[in-house]
Amino acid sequence: MNPNAPKILIISSDTGGGHRSAAAAIVAGIESFVKGESYAIRVVRAVEESAAIAARLVRVYNWLLRNKQHWMKYYYWAVNRVRPETREFFHSRSIVYVRGLFERWCPHIVVSVHPLTQHIFARVLKELKLADRIPLVTVVTDPYYGFWKGWACDDVSLYLVASGEARQQLIDYGIAPERIKISGMPVHPKFDFPGEQAAQAARMALGLDAEKFTVFLNAGWEGGGNVPEIFRELVRGELNVQAIFLAGKNEALKNEAETMAAGARFPVKVIGYSDEVEQLMRAANVMISKLGGLSTFEALNCRVPIIADVT
């Protein structure tokens, strides 16, 4: 790597899969127009790597996603009320990690794709007297009005949001309008629809009929929510379809789904965690999923209709 190359630090977290997908989309976007060794990018899981207590919060979040999706509204209520991203308790436990990132890697720009990250990074930039030299940019991955207050930080240099609604929410949280730009959602370019032949090829690659109507049941990053129960009901039917079931990182769910698939009256392909969700979306005629911010836009880019789990 060129030692003088600009360095971009992307700060994220594996709370669900959306923030990781946003970071990957930003990396792909930069790589699409900047070639060679003229820059360097590093993506870090800044929340769980910063402190043990923060890592526990991430585990609680993902456990709820997997096992108690209907409790998530209470989790969001508690986090909005407690505001852990602004508390000295969390700052004091994370500051050594954040300082170390700047001292070891010294980025030229910091990009946040997670609402728990920018406050502590902004504070460290001030303490190191780097706030005027290193811009802090936040890419908001929640596209609509009503998102968490943690996204709003007075020290962010530039906000990139998906919609006018998201822009208005930040303004209502006190962010100056001139620091907010509407740029759309950060969707990886691999999420597209190159045509029906590509869709047929994707089905065949999964061992399915190239021309049969295909239902994709997406249980998400953690493999939870109501989609597994929808799958249990679906496989009991006698339908002229074939199905793909994505169990995410839930190995127990994957094993259960494979057992159910073996007794189904139509072909079912069960998959655990996958880095090629775009291929599953291309193969599908319809996707059954909860309405995650990024996964919804990824599906729309692949032109696959969504049956939404909104409970």
Domains and CATH numbers, the chain: 7-182 (3.40.50.2300), 196-309 (3.40.50.2000)
Structure tokens at 126: 């001030």
Contact 167, 144 (CB under 8 A): no
User: Averaged over 26-50, what is the pLDDT?
Assistant: 84
Q: What is the pLDDT of residues 40-97, one digit of tens each?
A: 899 998 888 887 878 888 888 777 777 777 777 777 787 778 787 778 877 788 888 8
pLDDT the model gives residue 2? 64
pLDDT the model gives residue 197? 94
User: Averaged over 213-226, what is the pLDDT?
Assistant: 88
DSSP for 190-215, please give it: T-----HHHHHHHHHHTTS-SSS-EE
31 confidence band (pLDDT: 50, 70, 90): confident
Q: What is the pLDDT of residues 188-219, one digit of tens each?
A: 999 998 899 999 999 999 999 999 999 999 99
Question: Cα separation of 222 and 249, whole Å?
Answer: 5
User: Averaged over 221-241, what is the pLDDT?
Assistant: 88
Picking from 248, 214, 220, the residue whose alpha carbon sits closest to that of residue 234 is: 214
Write the CA distances from 24 to 30, 43, 236, 243, integer angstroms.
Answer: 10, 9, 37, 27
